[in-house]
Amino acid sequence: MSRPVLIVSHLTLALVTAACAAAPVSSVTSQPALAGYFDCVRETGVAISAHRAQSADDQAENSVGAIEATGRAIPGAIVEIDAALTRDGQLVLMHDDTLDRTTTGTGRVADLTFDEVRRARLTATDGTVLQAPPPTLGEALDAAGRVGAIASIDLKPADEAATLVLARKVVDAVRQAEAADRVILITYSAEAARAVAAMAPEMMISAGLNDLAGLEGLNPPQILAWTGTRAPRPALWQALETGGVEAQFGTLGAPGRRLDDIYAADGDVSEYRDLVRDGVAVIATDTPMAVMGVLEVEVRAAARCTR
């Protein structure tokens, strides 16, 4: 499908210029602080990324409680969280477009003010209503910092312009929190990956890659390659390793069809070990404690890498 390249390029340039102007020059480096950390992870073990930060059903998705509990339970945990903008331009955490599924509130986040969103209370996966509102991104970053976790911030796919507006807000918030050395920014297109990488050269970028050619226009040390959720791809993972790029693979997804469930069906989840053997540096999962149970030695080894 053809894209309006000229329009996107102009928008991207404007956003990159604004984002860079908002940050001190000293915050921009030739390579993210986390680049060396993930090199070490690839060589020594594996990191676990907890989908929506959860590690148990009594936690709410995208909650401070989930971030802290997961970070305490899993050394070097990556907590994947979803950034969203309220009607008045404030950043909160919410996976869905609406509040309905995961809170006591209703309505589209984009149509509600920050105060309206904060009046809702989060609901845990087991149905328990928690006395906590959807957190701000700043609160989430603070929580991750308290437990030594890396925050992987999902810039949820929308049209290109909306994604980049959200990205600029997130980058500014991360810089304000002085958290650039402990975040990953998740992108969903080659165009977004290049624009966000230029906007935040001091931060790691998750970019979907099917081959080394996908790195065109990107700085390899800044990139974590997202390689899908379906079939393992050892040839790709090994090719990425030769290019100095760490591979991520997702075992998460719809209940019953995700690899987490398929692996667990026979009571033996040793397949996670196969992923590490074949070159995966980050396993993104809906069942992080199951992965930890199989790969504790590798996870603890990687967590000792210097950040």
Task: Give residue 28's pLDDT.
Answer: 42
On the question of pLDDT at 177 being above 70, the answer is: yes
Query: In terms of residues, how long is the chain?
Result: 307
Separation of alpha carbons 139 and 134, rounded Å: 10
Task: Give residue 132's pLDDT.
Answer: 98
**CATH tag, 5-96+135-303:** 3.20.20.190
Mean of the per-residue pLDDT values of the chain: 91
pLDDT digit string, tens, across residues 145-166: 999 999 999 998 778 899 999 9
pLDDT digit string, tens, across residues 224-244: 999 999 999 999 999 999 999
Residues 117-132 have a mean pLDDT of: 98
**Lowest mean pLDDT, pick from 18-27, 49-58, 265-274:** 18-27
On the question of pLDDT at 108 being above 70, the answer is: yes
pLDDT digit string, tens, across residues 233-287: 999 999 999 999 999 999 999 999 999 999 999 999 999 999 999 999 999 999 9
Confidence bin at 121 (pLDDT 50/70/90):
very high
Query: Between these two residues, 5 and 101, which has the higher pLDDT value?
Result: 101
Kindly list the domain boundaries of the chain, sorted by start residue: 5-96+135-303
What is the DSSP secondary-structure string of the chain?
----HHHHHHHHHHHHHHHHHHS-GGG--SS-HHHHHHHHHHHH--EEEEGGG-SSTTS-TT-HHHHHHHHHHSTT-EEEEEEEE-TTS-EEE-SSSBSTTTBS--SBGGGS-HHHHHTS-BB-TTSPBPS-PPPBHHHHHHHHHHTTPEEEEE-----HHHHHHHHHHHHHHHHHTT-GGGEEEE--SHHHHHHHHHH-TTSEEEEE-SSGGGGTTS-GGGEEEE--SSS--HHHHHHHHHTT-EEEEE---STTTSHHHHHHTTT--THHHHHHHTTEEEEEES-HHHHHHHHHHHHHHHHTS--
Angle CA(232)–CA(236)–CA(241) in degrees, nearest 5?
115
Separation of alpha carbons 39 and 1, rounded Å: 35
Name the region of 239 (left: φ>0; alpha: ψ -120 to 50; beta: rest): alpha
Q: Tell me if 281 sits within 8 A of 28, measured CB to CB.
A: no
Separation of alpha carbons 145 and 42, rounded Å: 22
Q: Tell me if 182 sits within 8 A of 150, measured CB to CB.
A: yes
